[in-house]
């Protein structure tokens, strides 16, 4: 959960970017147009010879020469820059994809139809209606006839004599 002051600060920054008022909340987070040419251009730039890697450590034994060679000017942090060894580059070029690393499978539970059957209601319901009342169940229902947002709350109370006998 984002604290309110952080939310307002972030929102005010988004408002300065010139988005239409109805896009203020989604701002630059929502992709609004599909540009396959741009996607392919970016993907083609992802290559083995264009990557930069970092190893963060205080252990100088893994640094070539056994010592850090540079000092960052603002925080006096020692570091070392080195080209990726050619042998590692060759190994990376022939690297096989691990079968467990893949995009997630399609989520079949994401709805495609967001129609809620909205019908004008002169007086929205304030309480749910009891649809079924038996010795074993009670089922209540209240359609959101104010905001028309589909949602569900499931509450289960399970009573069993087995729990008392333990």
> HEC states along the chain?
CCCHHHHHHHHHHHHCCCCCHHHCCCHHHCCCCCCHHHHHHHHHHCCHHHCCCCCCCCCHHHCHHHCCCEECCCCCCEECCCCCCHHHHHHHHCCCCCCCCCCCCCCCCCCCCCCCCCCCCCCCCCCCEEEEECCCCEEEECCCCCCCCCCCCCCCCCCCHHHHHC
- What band does 105 get if pLDDT is binned at 50, 70 and 90? very high
- Residue 41 — pLDDT band, cuts 50, 70, 90? very high
Higher-scoring residue by pLDDT: 1, 33 = 33
pLDDT of residue 129: 93
pLDDT one-digit tens code per residue, 152-165 = 888 888 778 887 77
pTM over 0.75: no
Mean pLDDT of 45-52: 83
pLDDT score recorded for residue 60: 86
């Amino acid at each position: 959960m984002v604290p309110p002051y952080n939310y307002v600060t972030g929102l005010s920054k988004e408002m300065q970017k010139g988005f239409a008022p109805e896009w203020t909340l989604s701002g630059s987070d929502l992709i609004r147009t599909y540009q396959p040419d741009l996607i392919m251009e970016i993907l083609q730039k992802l290559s083995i010879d264009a990557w930069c890697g970092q190893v963060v450590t205080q252990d100088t034994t893994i640094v070539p020469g056994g010592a850090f060679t540079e000092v960052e000017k603002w925080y006096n942090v020692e570091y070392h820059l080195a080209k990726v060894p050619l042998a590692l580059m060759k190994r990376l070029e022939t690297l096989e994809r691990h079968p467990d690393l893949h995009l997630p499978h399609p989520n079949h539970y994401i709805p495609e139809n967001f129609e809620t059957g909205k019908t004008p209601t002169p007086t929205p319901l304030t309480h749910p209606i009891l649809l079924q009342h038996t010795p074993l169940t009670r089922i209540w229902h209240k359609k959101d006839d104010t905001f028309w947002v589909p949602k569900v709350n499931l509450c289960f109370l399970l009573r069993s004599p087995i729990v008392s006998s333990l």
